[in-house]
Structure 1
Amino acid sequence: MAYLLLYVDDIVLTASHPQLLQQVITRLSHEFAMTDMGPLHHFLGISVSRDANSLFLGQAQYARDILHRANMTNCKPCNTPVDTSPKLSATDGALLSDGSLYRSLAGALQYLTITRPDLSYAVQQICLFMHAPRESHMAFLKRVLRYLHGTLDLGLKLTASSNLSLVAYSDADWGWCPDTRRSTSGYCIFMGDNLISWSSKRQPTISRSSAEAEYRGVANAVAESTWIRNLLSELQVPVSKATIVYCDNVSAVYLSGNPVQHQRTKHVEMDIHFVREKVQLGHIRVLHIPSPHQYADIFTKGLPRYLFDTFRSSLNVFASPRSS
């Protein structure tokens, strides 16, 4: 089996045997003008460091370029990207006279979340105000850059493992957006011990209860888990066990298996039936987890430093081995 990852004219190749890998490279070279650059060390701005059992993915140079663009290469670092205060409103503060720098930095930070899941929630909040950024929003963005300055060498560690089981953590706040009262949902999905997918996103509709907000978050995690399971099947690595989805809301867990439709939940009927179908097929199990162990909290709200650091390391975000 050989896998080829292609983006325009950049290719990453791997195979089950070195001989097969060389055969594929040779065949491609006969068809296209290409250069074999050896073992993977850099791809689309992402640096790759390898040891005997793991890969480290980082974007330190890209992060330095962002700080240089913002003229914050010598700023004072801070410990977390977001404080625990209530969320910003779209009307807080005066409008920026020119929002182009704000939009440029926000877009650049989005790409950084490829290897920095600890920034996902902060960047999601920044992007809510790109249409009309204000001074308070720029101050918030600068706090994120200060955190980035102090954590330039952090990145995502992937470890070799024979464990192919999928485990997801799903969380949602309830109506915390001061302008729309929409909820923010987040999830993270692990294959074995490796984080492979994560998201922080504002929900498209208003939820009328915390259970509804949490359940919509569960549905998002189940949809992503289902896609990953299908992808792994196509890659000839099928997942035999049910995917476990952890949620810290008891009502949302109960809804995933209860066949009785309640009057107060009929307006989330499609999400309910979607999740229940996967549960009945044995592909998904939704279980309760206490809030102190809910890693997805880092994708829905600002956390105190100790909890933020704990969850960040649980997501396999560590310092580059070159910096230690």
Structure 2
Amino acid sequence: MVYSSTGCQKCLFTWYIKGDCLYASAAWFSSSRVTGIIKCDNSLFIYRKGTTVAYLLLYVDDIILTTSTAELRVHLIDLLAREFSMKDLGPLSYVLGIAVKRHANSLFLNQTTYAKDIIARASLSNCNQVLTPVDTTPKLGAKDGLPVADPTKFRSLEGALQYLTFTRPDISYAVQRIFLHMHNPRESHLHALRRIVRYLQGTLDYGLHLYKNPNRRLIAYTDVDWAGCPDSRCSTSGYCVYFGDNLISWSSKLQPTLSRSSAEAEYRGVANVVSDTCWIRNLLLELHCLLPKCTLVFFVTMSPLFISRIIHFCIMLPYKRSKRKIRIPIKFTNSVHNLQSKEITSDQSSDEKETDRVNETNAVDPDPGMG
């Protein structure tokens, strides 16, 4: 059961002060075998007693509450209402600009309304659609073209696109490219931003499905574009993390340091995804969701033999080895899974989207045996 509330008129800091991390303000948080605030996320509160469990996610004055029983939900809302002025909005349907639609065995998350607002702000409501958010031409440089006439609007649209990536992993790499030039946007960067908006025009019904699936395997895929930045020659790391058949985490980010070899850049990318999967495993552990198997990290490379020969040169290997105690094996694969790190053609994009995004109108339940 997932319910939402609002109108608390209390910031997160006030919650901590008033209730000593909610223990004093909600008596049930301090009763028999309560976990309290979890270590991995200070905005998430957890209660567990016997077979009953409740999770409370707090953001300023918005609350998402899920409980194992209806009785516990009613009791908890009543306790919170005694301390804070709040309103029960019923089953979760809309929170922080994200629409939540319920299906038989899944939740569909999308930001269609938010995307339409971005298109309108960019004055591209009647624009022609494109098949991919980024083209395969040479990468954008810091001084390509003339400065834009309205840099404030450019930064506002780019920031809005950043928030849209919460449910749209297919635009993460394209948004990351233009984010690098927010301090001094040029006309070429504006054209790249408009291409993303034109892509959104034809993909407004895209979003993210979260399926109810017994598969509790955590699997990650990572890839690197070595020395791809034309200005700094830094590499771009990209990864996706699946929990069962659900895509739960993704990233596309320029590495902060220069890598002298492709192997060095690739192992920095592996270290990034290992760090993220460690956090996810710890979070699931504190949510009492035990993973029966170790996490697998698949690394995209064209020459596993070459990588194995120069593996001792990688300076990030000690970090990876330090994570052996939680058993995260690294495997090589030749599959194309690079939406987060490289430009791809429209044909490749169509293949990748079969995995990385879900069209609500054509959504089908995934094969339980995948992963």
Structure-1-length-normalised TM-score: 0.91
Q: Once superposed, what is the RMSD of the aligned Cα atoms?
A: 1.9
Choose the corresponding residue for 1:205, options 257, 269, 272.
257
Matched, 1:214 2:266: yes
Matched, 1:149 2:201: yes
Matched, 1:319 2:362: no
1:73 alignment counterpart: 125
Q: Which has the higher contact order (CA 8 A, sep 6+)?
A: 1
Choose the corresponding residue for 2:318, options 257, 260, 273.
273
Which one is further off, 302-311 or 194-203? Answer: 302-311
2:333 alignment counterpart: 289
Quote the offset at 1:98 in angstroms: 2.6
Could you tell me whether the CA contact under 8 Å between 1:173 and 1:183 is conserved in 2?
yes
Quote the offset at 1:17 in angstroms: 2.0
**Sequence identity percentage:** 50
1:305 alignment counterpart: 346
- CA displacement, residues 59-114 of structure 1 (integer Å, 9 cap, x when unaligned): 00000101111111111110000111221111111112331111110000000000
2:15 alignment counterpart: none
Q: Quick one: structure 1 residues 66 and 44, their matched pair in 2 at CA, closer, same or farther if it must change by over 3 Å?
A: same
SS of equivalent residue, structure 2 residue 347 = helix
SS of equivalent residue, structure 1 residue 284 = coil
Choose the corresponding residue for 2:233, options 162, 167, 181.
181
Could you tell me whether the CA contact under 8 Å between 1:241 and 1:283 is conserved in 2?
no
Task: State how far apart, in whole Å, the 1-side matches of 2:115 and 2:71 are.
Answer: 37
SS of equivalent residue, structure 2 residue 91 = coil
Which one is further off, 30-39 or 161-170? Answer: 30-39
The amino acid of 1:75's aligned partner reads C
Could you tell me whether the CA contact under 8 Å between 1:172 and 1:217 is conserved in 2?
yes
Task: State how far apart, in whole Å, the 2-side matches of 1:252 and 1:210 are.
Answer: 11
Quote the offset at 1:322 in angstroms: 9.9
Could you tell me whether the CA contact under 8 Å between 1:253 and 1:286 is conserved in 2?
no
SS of equivalent residue, structure 1 residue 306 = helix
Task: State how far apart, in whole Å, the 1-side matches of 2:363 and 2:113 are.
Answer: 13
- CA displacement, residues 118-158 of structure 1 (integer Å, 9 cap, x when unaligned): 01000000101100001111011111110011111110011
Quote the offset at 1:251 in angstroms: 6.2
The amino acid of 1:192's aligned partner reads G
Task: State how far apart, in whole Å, the 2-side matches of 1:240 and 1:189 are.
Answer: 17
Could you tell me whether the CA contact under 8 Å between 1:168 and 1:244 is conserved in 2?
yes
Paired residue total: 310
Task: State how far apart, in whole Å, the 2-side matches of 1:101 and 1:218 are.
Answer: 36
Could you tell me whether the CA contact under 8 Å between 1:253 and 1:287 is conserved in 2?
no
Quote the offset at 1:11 in angstroms: 0.5
Q: Quick one: structure 1 residues 254 and 277, their matched pair in 2 at CA, closer, same or farther if it must change by over 3 Å?
A: farther
Quote the offset at 1:33 in angstroms: 1.6
2:76 alignment counterpart: 24
The amino acid of 2:330's aligned partner reads V
Q: Which has the higher helix share?
A: 1
Task: State how far apart, in whole Å, the 1-side matches of 2:157 and 2:332 are.
Answer: 38
Unaligned runs of 5+ in 2: 1-52, 365-371
Pick the structure with greater CA Rg: 2
Quote the offset at 1:15 in angstroms: 1.3
Choose the corresponding residue for 1:245, options 297, 306, 309.
297
The amino acid of 1:174's aligned partner reads W
Which one is further off, 112-121 or 301-310? Answer: 301-310
Quote the offset at 1:241 in angstroms: 1.4
Quote the offset at 1:252 in angstroms: 8.8
Quote the offset at 1:26 in angstroms: 1.9
Task: State how far apart, in whole Å, the 1-side matches of 2:58 and 2:353 are.
Answer: 30
SS of equivalent residue, structure 2 residue 64 = strand
Q: Quick one: structure 1 residues 9 and 147, their matched pair in 2 at CA, closer, same or farther if it must change by over 3 Å?
A: same
Which one is further off, 85-94 or 116-125? Answer: 85-94
Task: State how far apart, in whole Å, the 2-side matches of 1:323 and 1:167 are.
Answer: 22
2:154 alignment counterpart: 102
Matched, 1:126 2:194: no
Unaligned runs of 5+ in 1: none
Task: State how far apart, in whole Å, the 1-side matches of 2:117 and 2:186 are.
Answer: 23
SS of equivalent residue, structure 1 residue 186 = strand
Matched, 1:234 2:279: no
